[in-house]
Structure 1
Amino acid sequence: MGLKKLTLSVEEGVIEKARRYSQAHNTSISRLVTQFLARLPGRQKRRDSPTVRRLVGILSESADVAEYRRHLEEKHGR
C-alpha cells in the first residue's frame, strides 16, 4: 500500500517533543504517527443491550435482533 500525504495541525510543543523523540529513536514523525494509528482498534461490533436480549425471547420466530437494532437506529438516528 502506498503512502499518502497528510497535513496535521499540532501544538508547537508537541511537534518539538515528536522531533526529539524521532531523532533519539532514529525514525521519522511520519513513522511514529503511522505506528500509532495502526494500533488503533478497528470498528467494534456493539453488543445488544440487556433489554433487547430480554425482548428477543418473547418476539415471534420471524423477529430478528439485527432487524430491531436497525429499526432503533433509524428511529433514533444512531
Structure 2
Amino acid sequence: MSSSKPPLYVEKHYFYTYKERDMNAKLTLNLSKVVIDHAKGYAKDHHTSLSKLIENYLGSLTKKESKKAKVSPLVESLTGIIPNEPVTADHKKEYLAKKYS
C-alpha cells in the first residue's frame, strides 16, 4: 500500500488597515544649518524622517487635550496648607533658633 498524501494548500490572507489622513502640505522653514544637521542626525538615530519628527513635535505643542493630572481628594484637601512664599536665610535662622533654644 502506498500512502498517498493529500496536496498541501496554503491560504494567504492579507489584512489592510486604512487610516484616514489629512492631506500633506509643503512648508518652508528657515533654520540654522547646525540645527538642521543635528535634527537630521537625531531623526536618523530614531529611524524617522525629519518631516515626521517636526510634525510630531508641532502636533504635541498644539494638542488640545488637557494634560492636567487627576488629584486625589487627600492631596486636594492639603492644597494651600503650606504658604507659597520663598524661604530666605532669615527664615531659616529664625526656625533653627526656635528649634534649638
Instruction: Tell me what 1:37 maps to.
Output: 58
* Distance apart, 1:33 and its partner CA: 0.5
- Displaced runs of 4+ in structure 1, greater than 6 A? none
**Structure whose residues are more often helix by fraction:** 1
CA RMSD between the two structures: 1.5
Instruction: Tell me what 2:47 maps to.
Output: 26
SS for the counterpart of 2:58 is helix
Structure (1 or 2) with the larger CA radius of gyration: 2
Instruction: Tell me what 1:4 maps to.
Output: 25
SS for the counterpart of 1:39 is helix
1:42 & 1:19 partners in 2: Cα distance? 24
Q: Percent identity?
A: 35
* Distance apart, 1:41 and its partner CA: 3.8
How many matched pairs? Answer: 43
TM-score (norm 1): 0.51
Distance 1:35 1:42, change over 3 A: closer
Matches within 5 A, 1:44-59: none
Gaps of 5+ in 1: 44-78
For 2:31, give the aligned amino acid: V
